[in-house]
Amino acid sequence: MTADETLIGYLLDALDSAEHDAVAAQVHADPVMAARLEQLRRATAPLEVDRDYSPTPPSELALRTIGRLAAHLANHEPPQSVESDHGTLLAVAAAMESDYRVPETHPLAFPAPPLRRAPREEPEARAIGGRLRLDLLVACGIALFAGGLIFSGIGKLRAQNQVLVCQSNLRTLHSGLAGYADTHSGKYPHVGSETNPTADTFVTALTDAGQVPAGFRPCCPADPITTTPVGYTYSLGYRAPTGELRGLRRSNGEEHDLVPISADYPTATAAPAAGPLCPHNVGMNVLYAGGNVRHTTSPLIGPSGDDIYRNLYGRVAAGANVNDVVLGRPGDRP
């Protein structure tokens, strides 16, 4: 197995525990391997996108499409009159009768036999309601099917782009958090103080410290034209055995790299209380302390498999211990 294949297996959690630990140790010790791992992470980011999103076509699309086709046919195709067809047949029959009748003044003339008219043929495609034909209904069905495929493809592409934009913003936040820790003795921004009372003020701390690019908008997605942008959740810290509120610190341990530190807002099924929800509907992007971003549909991805939006007591508050991760939305306090 090549070095890249080993790193890809590490990113996709395809290695056993021993191999995973060995690769993690090598990445931590080798800056070149760490840089290559980051390149592969960006290249494989689309593989982690949830592809179950399937938008619903606009309501009454079938009825509106058939109605438009019926109006077009009524305005541009000449009406077919049954009476006119019948009159035409009578005129043809009269002409044939006059052509084959012997003049009555002829001495050998006999009475003309009654003319037998051929039975009238029914049209191959009987109109429905006098207007819509079977071939038009088939064409409408094909158009609706193709339209559904197009709408579904466009919706999935937009959803994937939104997820990728959010993941990119979370990686930018991780760079800011790492720079903040470098200048604050390894500490990440701590919420619950007078200067940073709520979970959403961690971005203010990064901005004041000059750790995020100028004009950076910490929201998901970053383009406000497509949809209303929303921010991110952030760690509310944890309570020490003495009851003291503490924030997260950067650690050299590999286990600490798997601690969630920020994420999208929760989905409707994962939300612990009323508040803003994730714009992706099908899952959340989660930023770990090690810099990895993962798309997940379940909130049960804490270090011990616990809910990242509630503490062990089921509350939106600081964790009960250092391994109890709780990510708060704007306005949430430890």
Distance of alpha carbon 48 from alpha carbon 295, whole angstroms:
6
Q: Select the more confidently predicted residue: 155 or 176.
A: 176
The tokens for 6 are 């080993």
Distance of alpha carbon 226 from alpha carbon 206, whole angstroms:
27
DSSP conformation letters of 14-44: -S-HHHHHHHHHHHHH-HHHHHHHHHHHHHT
Instruction: Look up tokens 């997940």; give the residue.
Output: 296
Q: Select the more confidently predicted residue: 107 or 312.
A: 312
Q: How far is CA 145 from CA 137, 139, 153, 154, 323, in A?
A: 12, 10, 13, 14, 50
The tokens for 276 are 């803003």
Q: pLDDT for 233-280, tens place per residue?
A: 999 999 999 989 988 888 766 557 888 999 989 988 889 988 888 887
For residue 53, is pLDDT > 60?
no
Distance of alpha carbon 284 from alpha carbon 272, whole angstroms:
14
The tokens for 47 are 């593989």
Distance of alpha carbon 324 from alpha carbon 322, whole angstroms:
6
Q: How far is CA 327 from CA 39, 45, 66, 120, 196, in A?
A: 28, 23, 50, 80, 15
Q: Specify whether the CB–CB gap between 201 and 282 falls below 8 A.
A: no
For residue 292, is pLDDT > 60?
yes
DSSP conformation letters of 96-134: HHHHHPPPTTSTT--PPPPPPPPPPPPPSSPPBTTTB-H
Task: Indicate the pLDDT class of residue 119, thresholds 50, 70 and 90.
Answer: low
Beta-strand runs (E) in the chain? 233-235, 238-239, 245-246, 260-263, 284-288, 293-296, 327-328
Taking residue 168's Cβ as centre, other Cβ atoms within 10 Å add up to 17
Average pLDDT, the chain: 76
- Burial of residue 187 (CB within 10 Å: 0-12, 13-18, 19+) is middle
Distance of alpha carbon 332 from alpha carbon 234, whole angstroms:
10
Q: pLDDT for 69-106, tens place per residue?
A: 777 777 766 555 545 555 555 554 555 555 544 445 54
Helix, strand, or coil (residue 296): strand
Q: Specify whether the CB–CB gap between 47 and 11 falls below 8 A.
A: no
Distance of alpha carbon 193 from alpha carbon 47, whole angstroms:
39
Percent of the chain residues topping a pLDDT of 70: 69
Backbone phi, then psi, for 121, in 5-degree steps? -85, 140
Q: How far is CA 270 from CA 99, 136, 260, 263, 321, in A?
A: 89, 47, 16, 13, 22
